[in-house]
Structure 1
């Protein structure tokens, strides 16, 4: 019995040797079944072979952190320069590893620093979601428009340095754009962002609602979905959308208090393909924000610590 038990024991050294002998292709196949979090916070730190496998372009065609942001409470630290640098560093790494195969980016709190590299080296991007980016400007969006003509979905919500000029430029260069999200923060209840978003940023709230939708109506005729939470567009602006975007199937006007029921009815009658329009709701409860730190971001901080 004693000999049999000893025979059944697994030698850790043998197991480690077997894993070390796996080919790059086998490792890539295995890692493709893991989540992005498991790869970035686990696999790539085991050894050089595993790190190289995690850098394979086929594992870096999609970079999606939105699920982590969605499940986390918005924190003041997200709006700091240090956190922005960490996100920029992650994006730049993925762009390097993707070898031009990157098709989808969903992040928040990045800046022109990383998006310039996206514009230069990611011509196949189809989905770009960059919500809550205080340092993304019209200049870099012009580069994105020129370098990423295959865009089908764009989310520039809560990006207050982006203006109607960017919307016009993107529309002119990206004819396949079908989904646009240009949501803004709730300016009717600023307490939602109190002590979280810097007050100087909130003061930059875009006031040119009709200019933005005029650009959308003129340069984005193939839109099918449009979100405009808390935009200051008026009935005149909504009419421009209904005239210029005949293929719209869905519009979200939550919080757009400057449009009337008549404005919405007129726009709806002009949009023959419209399936759903989310109308403004002026009863908006005050949000309660928790302040605990979200565990995933603590781990990202450890892996992507930057100086200064």
Structure 2
């Protein structure tokens, strides 16, 4: 039994490769308190290259909040503080950052991340106030290696945002969002993201004419998801024919109009989205 190898005796590279697969909660509250060897391994930036905050509970009464406050002897816990903690551990090597969608993150957190995460490849934006949306383009433009961007609602500065992506993010290949996709939005996608490979506009208001233009203008699409959209029928013959060259085309549940609305022409498109 005395000759059995112990976890703390494992080569640091191997230990880091295992620990980096754990959740942020485990990295912050579990691993560092096992032993000194695990603590050293948990401090390696590689362990903090994937920063996924979406499934963590940042409410004041959550176990995460209580444990972090106790173990790190902080007087007040906040998402901003936890974000700074994680980014400090990543040392600028974070390649994926996914903000919580429901609670905690602010626009200032996004601004801070734009300075501390220069190597991001995947970004999931938090919910952003309308007043802050005009500032999104200049922030996104800082991530030169950005490949994939996800957001809940289409920002008012969408055209400027994709223009900055075109100018600064040479490897960009994937976009996910929903909202009222208008003609000017489609023109911006075709003009600035003509080589995009993965596009997800599910749950949007998207008319057939705009969808067809996207298919025609973005000829390198490998994945196009327009599930549960309002504005075209899922079995629309022209749409299916034009999308036949796309490897993965998803349009389940899409309808010409919302069945709960009496007159599509009198409806605000944003009010008839299928959420």
2:29 aligned with 1:41 = yes
Q: Which residue of 1 aligns with 2:186?
A: 213
Q: Which residue of 1 aligns with 2:127?
A: 133
8 Å contact 2:137–2:157 — kept in the other structure?
A: no
The alpha-carbon deviation at position 211 of structure 1 amounts to: 2.9
State the secondary structure of the residue aligned to 1:94: helix
Using the alignment, how far apart are the partners of 2:163 and 2:215 within structure 1?
17
Higher-Rg structure is 1
State the secondary structure of the residue aligned to 2:141: helix
2:55 aligned with 1:56 = no
User: Which residue of the other structure, out of 102, 123, 131, is the alignment partner of 2:94?
Assistant: 102
Q: Which residue of 2 aligns with 1:222?
A: 195
1:126-162 deviations in Å (ceiling 9; x for gaps): 11122x5134843443233321121111111246566
Gaps of 5+ in 1: 1-7, 9-14, 78-84, 184-205, 285-308
User: Which residue of the other structure, out of 74, 86, 89, is the alignment partner of 2:81?
Assistant: 89
RMSD after superposition: 3.9
User: Which residue of the other structure, out of 163, 171, 179, is the alignment partner of 1:168?
Assistant: 163
TM-score normalised by the chain length of structure 1 = 0.61
8 Å contact 2:172–2:196 — kept in the other structure?
A: yes
2:129 aligned with 1:157 = no
Using the alignment, how far apart are the partners of 2:22 and 2:251 within structure 1?
40
State the secondary structure of the residue aligned to 2:98: strand
1:10-65 deviations in Å (ceiling 9; x for gaps): xxxxx9xx96x999778746634644332222233568886564332121111123
Shift of the 51–159 alpha-carbon distance from structure 1 to 2, 3 Å rule, reads farther
Of the two structures, which has the highest relative contact order with CA contacts closer than 8 Å and spacing of 6 or more? 1
1:164-187 deviations in Å (ceiling 9; x for gaps): 43233324422322221113xxxx
Out of 85-94 and 25-34, give the one that drifted further: 25-34
Higher helix residue share: 1
